[in-house]
Amino acid sequence: MPDNLSPDIDAYRPLADRQLLAISGPDAAVFAQAQFSSDVLALADGHWQWSAWLTAKGRTIAVFQLIRITSDDLLLIFADGDADEIASQLQRFVFRRKVKIGLRDDLQLQAAFTAPKTASGAVLAGSLAGFLELDVGSGDLPRTMRIAADAPSQVDAGFTATWRQADLRFGIPRLDASQREQWTPQQLGLDRLNGYSVKKGCYPGQEIVARTHFLGKAKRALQLLQLAAGAAPGVAVEQNGSTLGTVACVAGELALAVLPLEASDAPLSVAGQPAQRLPLLEGLAR
């Protein structure tokens, strides 16, 4: 991480690539439980978890952070845009439930490469009346997010790019439009983040997720690669002249690729350039 990222309060900078979506009302938690992959009803107030929205065929539309302020008030952090489109699609499943879904454009998300002052793991700190603090790092790479109404206005593109690289180092998939509805949660390594449940009730894609889990049929998973040159999502990862897997997301010269769990240690290449396997950072399961 860059040395100029000071650990004091001034180090907080806006993350311009995030959108906040609110789900509120008496049926908010029940609605989210029926739509998303994580166990929202088991999540305590004042906690957050990783979650995903899947197609009926078990393919991942979006990966996000789900914050349970109360059972009536959920906040979702989307890192890859289209939160307004997702809100529109979710609205089709509200039916008669007492739920409101909408963007929170009045709130902004700030971040810093420093350990949180109070938040820890899945436990939130503060409130939206001031700022809400989230622990999104580990001992090896401390990071803090906070949601506030008075976020700094100046966007730092370099900081946002560095944060995205840190996401990939933790194995957080960042899916652009070309990679949505392409991968199962298992292929994206969401088990490492506790991002889906195989024990709760039904949700879109649940049957396929559970079958894959209990039958042990997941044969591919996310791996971190250091690229010799930039690449685009969807590009093939090759080994010995044959396609081995696919790049799912990229941040500079880092990439997350979906590769076979069982593969030789022979050198890899992406877009004709060497690619080196790197270990993923642990500590971000919630």
Tell me the C-alpha distance between 198 and 230, whole Å.
36
| Mean of pLDDT over the chain | 92
The DSSP secondary-structure symbol of 286 reads -
User: Residue 201 — left, alpha, or beta (φ > 0 → left; ψ -120 to 50 → alpha)?
Assistant: beta
Q: Which residues are registered as beta bridge partners of 277? A: 225
CATH of domain 177-278: 2.40.30.160
Measured CA distances, 124 to 31, 32, 116, 147, 269 (Å): 22, 19, 10, 11, 41
Q: Confidence class of residue 168 from pLDDT cuts 50, 70 and 90?
A: very high
pLDDT in tens, 33-66: 999 999 999 999 999 999 999 999 999 999 999 9
Helix, coil or strand: residue 118:
coil
pLDDT in tens, 73-129: 999 999 988 899 999 999 999 999 999 999 999 998 999 999 999 999 999 999 998
Please report, for the chain, the start and end positions of each structural domain, with discontinuous segments joined by +. 177-278
What do you get for the CA distance between the two ends of the chain, in Å? 23
